[in-house]
Amino acid sequence: MTLLDPSANIRLLFVHSSNRSREHLAEQLQINSWVVRGADTLHAARKILDTEPFDCLAISVSLADGDRTAITQMLQDRYPDLPVVFMTDHGHAENMIDLLKLGYFSFLVEPTTAAQITSIVLQTIRQQRLLVENRKLQKSIVCHEVCQKLPQNLPPDEQVKNLVDLARTHLRADGVTLLLNDTMGRPGDYCAVARSGQNSLHLSSQKIFEQFLMENPVLTHADDVENWIRNAHTPERSVQSFAAVPIRVQGAPLGMLHAFVAQPGQKFSSADYAGLEVFAAQLGRALEDAKKQGTFQDTFTQTMEALARALEAKDKYTHGHSDRVAIYAELIAKAMDLPQSMIEKVRHAGCMHDIGKIGLHTGDLNKTQKLTAEEFEVFKSHPIQGKRIIEPIVFLRSLIPCIYHHHECFDGHGYPEKLGGDDIPIEARILAVADSYDAMTSNRPYRKALPHAVAVAELKQYCGKQYDPQCVDVFIGAIETFRNQRQQNGLTNPD
């Protein structure tokens, strides 16, 4: 439709208490091929507006059931995007001044001609469309700025929850829900993954999804809501307005973000819809990041698993050792209240700490007699070998300090760098305790496993020499709790 073309099929609702005026206007506008519907009261106008689309509303400022104030209130609450022409008689300039103050600028003073009506309606539609575009742009900018202010380093689920909460606040919605569909790209059952406010809507998901495929907006009001929500009208609540936008991850529709208002008189505008689209786009990005992190995590885990298996194949006595060291190291890190990222690093390093043994001769690793001095010197190279193996694997590099220094001693007599005290990374000091405890309480080629009490006594004896005293103290407390829990769960512990 060309907005300045009078022959465009415009749908006009004309609200006037006078039958004669309505009939006269309809007759006059027949030349334009417009569809003109009439209503004699505000109530009748509302019923028609709620069920039929119109390009413009021409309304008398004085109706039997509504004056200027009632009309403008209804328009602002329920039809904020609708172009409106107010009709008034001569001698009521105050009406026009008050309406101008409220942002309405299209008036007709009766009696009018067809040419005047045509001109003012077309002009009003054009101006209103520009105004609506401007409102949408403003709302999009505000919502975008709000999203940008969110901390970027939050875990994905927190990021998603925050965005859904923000969407509800900025749309003044009663409920906002993020639904995701596992069957990527096909209609299916959506699953709610984040909610803000009220929600127990039963959606016609497939119908909504079809609209997404056709790239149609899903923004619906009043009675039409029933076409999209199966429980829109209940005794407790009547959904006034419902909006849904697709969530796209890497271009594929993965789900939807929907919002509703149930307060009487409230309605989403097209600017609100634009705001919802901004939040949906941000959620799509957050989910995309989470997906990438998941893929990264899978690669990380698979690589560690492959390396651990390679080591086990080489050194049969290592079987289970690395996993137990990881568990004990995690126990210590948690008991020390270290940040979650360090707890995870310590656990991963526990799995990988002896990876350098892959580079040693199998005979040395499985020897039943004590190593000769020469063989021990070769054995001592395994932290260096471990560092060399891990260095090319970018996402494992953060584990290098733990692997490289796990045989340093607190008094500076360890290897490979003879670091001492706090110069040894805390993760490596933790690993040293966890590694020694498990080595002592496990069978070795050259001796049987030592009892738990002996291993603990050994840790205490070498506290401050081989081991960080703080790590030993924390471990002795944590291991007792750990052993008790295992016992209660019917699991065995080292004697």
| Stretch touching Fe ion by CB under 5 A, among 17-25, 273-281, 354-362, 424-432 | 354-362
Interface with Fe ion, residue 354, by CB under 5 A? yes
| Stretch touching Fe ion by CB under 5 A, among 170-178, 346-354, 452-460, 466-474 | 346-354
Burial zone of 190 (CB within 10 Å; 0-12 exposed, 13-18 middle, 19+ buried): buried
Query: Given CA atoms 338, 344, 345, 346 in this order, what sign does their dihedral have?
Result: positive
DSSP 8-class letter at 232: S
CB closer to Fe ion out of 315 and 354:
354
CB of residue 471 vs Fe ion: minimum separation in angstroms? Answer: 16
CB closer to Fe ion out of 39 and 346:
346
Q: What angle do CA 427, 428, 433 make, to 5 degrees?
A: 100
Interface with Fe ion, residue 315, by CB under 5 A? no
CB of residue 406 vs Fe ion: minimum separation in angstroms? Answer: 6
CB closer to Fe ion out of 81 and 354:
354
**In DSSP terms, which residues pair with 175 in a beta bridge?**
197, 260
Residue nearest to Fe ion (CB): 354
Report the 10 Å Cβ neighbour count for 202: 9
CB closer to Fe ion out of 221 and 321:
321
DSSP H/E element including 434: helix 426-440
CB closer to Fe ion out of 275 and 414:
414
CB of residue 365 vs Fe ion: minimum separation in angstroms? Answer: 11
CB of residue 354 vs Fe ion: minimum separation in angstroms? Answer: 4
Please give the size of the binding site for Fe ion, defined by CB under 5 A: 1
Binders of Fe ion among 409-468, rule CB under 5 A?
Answer: none
Q: Which two tokens stand for residue 271?
A: 């600017």
Three-state secondary structure along 66-116? ECHHHHHHHHHHHCCCCCEEEEECCCCHHHHHHHHHCCCCCEEECCCCHHH
CB of residue 424 vs Fe ion: minimum separation in angstroms? Answer: 14
| Stretch touching Fe ion by CB under 5 A, among 111-119, 246-254, 297-305, 347-355 | 347-355
Q: Using omega within 30 degrees of 0 as the cis cutoff, is the peptide bond preceding 339 cis?
A: no
CB of residue 353 vs Fe ion: minimum separation in angstroms? Answer: 6
CB of residue 143 vs Fe ion: minimum separation in angstroms? Answer: 54
Query: What are residue 223's phi and psi, to 5 degrees?
Result: -65, -30
- Beta strand 190-197 with 175-181: parallel, antiparallel or unpaired? antiparallel
Interface residues toward Fe ion, by CB under 5 A: 354
